[in-house]
Structure 1
Amino acid sequence: MHTVGLPRTCLGCTNVLFFILGSAGLVICVWCAVNTDFFRDVNYNITRANIVYDIAYFVNLKIWFTPLKSIFIPIAVIVIMTSCCGIMSAGCQFKCAAKSYIFLVTLLSIAFGWFFFVSIIYNIYTNSPKINYIMVDSLKNNYGKEDDMFTHIWNFLMVNFECCGVHDFKDFSYTNWHKDNLEKFYPIQCCILSNKTAMTPMFINCTLTAQKIEPYIHTEGCLQAVRKAVIANKTKLIMYFVLLTIAFALIILFAYCILRGQPLLGSMAVNAPILPFRKIKIEGPKPHPQQSETSLENMIFADEAPKRIVKVVSASNPFQTFQYRPMDYGDRHIPQIAPYGMPVPPMHHHNLRHVK
């Protein structure tokens, strides 16, 4: 049987990884926000990798009027805060950090699930008018701008899903892109390509003609093409959703184990009396607490009751005292001490012990 060390190890390693990723993303976004050219030159001279240019270009893209780096910076900060809470709860077992970690992970998971699975996948699957309006508006107002994220999303959809426009190629007639390219009816991404990497169309003048277009361009709209792909892969999407839910549940259980200081199965069985594997702890009588041996007054004897000792002082001779234990014979044998100057009432002398 494992101990609470297993949840601590798994949670600690996971959050260290997310902390590294969040820190790297934050550094890249802040660096590009300050000076993109300096970021590009320094990192390319060190790594000699073309991905440096792609990263610098990507974080500077815009969604409407907001650069992606302005969106990624607060997201990276939240990821770093969440991972720090997870590391402190796993390493130092801080309960406040574990509670904060559970709250932040739940909040991020709900936000991601709602954005990806509900706002995008579910609306496409149900052919919602809302997703249709968003696609038409982004194609009309944002497509064609080099630094706009929607341009790259549309190009990716048209090339990989082999589609054109929202419903067909005629959607480009009302776009800002067509106003800047009056000689073209649609972009080259709508053409059937012989080489997708080099963007080489099968017919060179594909974008310049609108007649007899079936052999040269994709006639299906992207909304319908993406919807067919979602319907065809709905089993995989459901499996991904289930796996992400299980991963979220495990993370929350690990944090809950640290919060309670119990192993994984022990924490799961605390509030589940119907589980067959739960062990019921039967508590016996609690032993007497260990008392200090330095004082007789703090000692408790299990075999006999505490003794009460009464000291009796003779009224006629104040220097003569007696010790009396009434527990042996009951409280009725407790002697009555007379007021000062009066004789002591008679008592049973066999119950008195003379003290010198």
Structure 2
Amino acid sequence: MEGDCLSCIKYLMFIFNFLIFLGGAFLLGIGIWVLVDPTGFREIVAANPLLFTGVYVILVMGGMLFLLGFLGCCGAIRENKCLLLFFFMLILIIFLAELAAAILAFIFRDHLTRDYFTQELKRRYQGHNNTDVFTSTWNAIMSTFDCCGVNSPEDFDESLFRRIYPHKMVPEICCLRNDLLPRDGVYVSKDECLKGNMLYRYNKGCYTAVVDSFETYIYMAGALAIVVLTIELFAMVFAMCLFRGIQ
């Protein structure tokens, strides 16, 4: 009976880790394709620090999952104690890192408030400066969610942006997405937006826009995180049971 139990754990571990292995290979493939794509997508990603960072996050995640799945599969099917121990240590490190990240997120949650983001935007946002990561990230957020500022376009009052561009009330990224914008059938230039005309700019704050867009996904991400942590705990238990059961 003990042998049958160990055999069941062995094949369950193999199937589970083979799926992890395939998932890691898929993420690695996506990341590598984006970096070497000859059709120009690479330049688009490289020009946007937010996307560029995301590609490397995908590569790292894919590499870790690829290695984790490979070690789990080999350790289980070959009943290799060394590989099983290495698999256990790697997944333990990942588990502790995720746990530490969750604890830090809880501790520093007060820094993710409207006031904090507003102060940082006023202090650091530079408008068209694509070489500044903070500015480029905010431009990507405002472009993606069709929003302006943290709470509203008034967040740019008394800001670094206004000191750099004293004649612009808002950045151009806050203007409606056409070079010429219609008003009562007559087209006017984007200058109306830059002068502060509310009819030709996005007036919704990005804090509300992002929260509204991701409200459902936040709960899904929390549930997914709990599932992943649970799976990792079971994986460590299975690895140790198989490790101890191998003669």
Which TM-score bucket, shorter chain as reference? 0.5 to 0.7
The question of whether the paired residues in 1 share the 8 Å contact of 2:71 and 2:84 is answered with no
| Residues 168-212 of structure 1: per-residue CA shift (max 9 Å, x gap) | 32332333333333332111222233x5xxx765542233423xx
Q: Secondary structure at the match of 2:147?
A: coil
Correspondence 1:1-356 to 2 at 5 A? 3=8, 4-15=10-21, 17-18=23-24, 21=27, 43=36, 47-58=37-48, 61=49, 76=60, 80=63, 83-93=66-76, 94-111=83-100, 113=102, 118=106, 130-144=113-127, 145-193=129-177, 195=178, 201-202=181-182, 203-204=188-189, 205-210=191-196, 213-227=197-211, 229=212, 234-261=215-242
Taking a change above 3 Å as real, the CA distance of residues 81 and 220 of structure 1, as seen in their structure-2 partners, is: closer
* Superposition TM-score, scaled by structure 2 size: 0.66
Report the TM-score, using the length of structure 1 for normalisation.
0.49
Q: CA deviation at 1:245?
A: 1.9
Question: How many residues of Structure 1 are paired with residues of Structure 2 in the alignment?
Answer: 222
Query: Deviation string for 1:121-173 (max 9, x for gaps)?
Result: x65xxxx6755224421443143321233223322333344432233323323
Distance 1:173 1:135 in 2: 11
Cα RMSD, aligned residues only? 4.1
1:21 deviation in Å?
Answer: 4.3
How many Å apart are 1:17 and its aligned residue? 4.0
Query: Within 1, Cα distance between the matches of 2:72 and 2:238?
Result: 10
**CA deviation map 1:71-103 (0-9, x unaligned):** x59x93x87467535422331243321321221
Question: SS of 2:201's equivalent?
Answer: coil
Q: Unmatched 5+ residue regions in structure 2? A: 77-82, 183-187
**In 2, Cα distance between equivalents of 1:181 and 1:89:** 57
Distance 1:242 1:129, change over 3 A: closer
Preserved contact between residue 192 and residue 218 of structure 1 (Cα < 8 Å): yes
Could you tell me which amino acid in structure 2 is paired with residue 100 of structure 1?
M
On the 8 A contact 2:13/2:238 being kept in 1, the answer is yes
Write the letter of the residue equivalent to 1:167.
N
- Cα pair 1:98 1:256 within 8 Å, conserved: no
The 1:179–1:226 alpha-carbon spacing in structure 2 relative to 1, beyond 3 Å, is same
1:53 Cα deviation after fit: 0.9
Contact 1:192 1:217 in 2 (8 A): yes
Question: Is the 1:8–1:254 Cα contact (8 Å) retained in structure 2?
Answer: no
Rg (Cα) greater in structure: 1
Structure with the larger helix share: 2
CA distance in structure 2 between the partners assigned to 1:131 and 1:20 by the alignment: 37
Change (3 A) 1:163 1:259: same
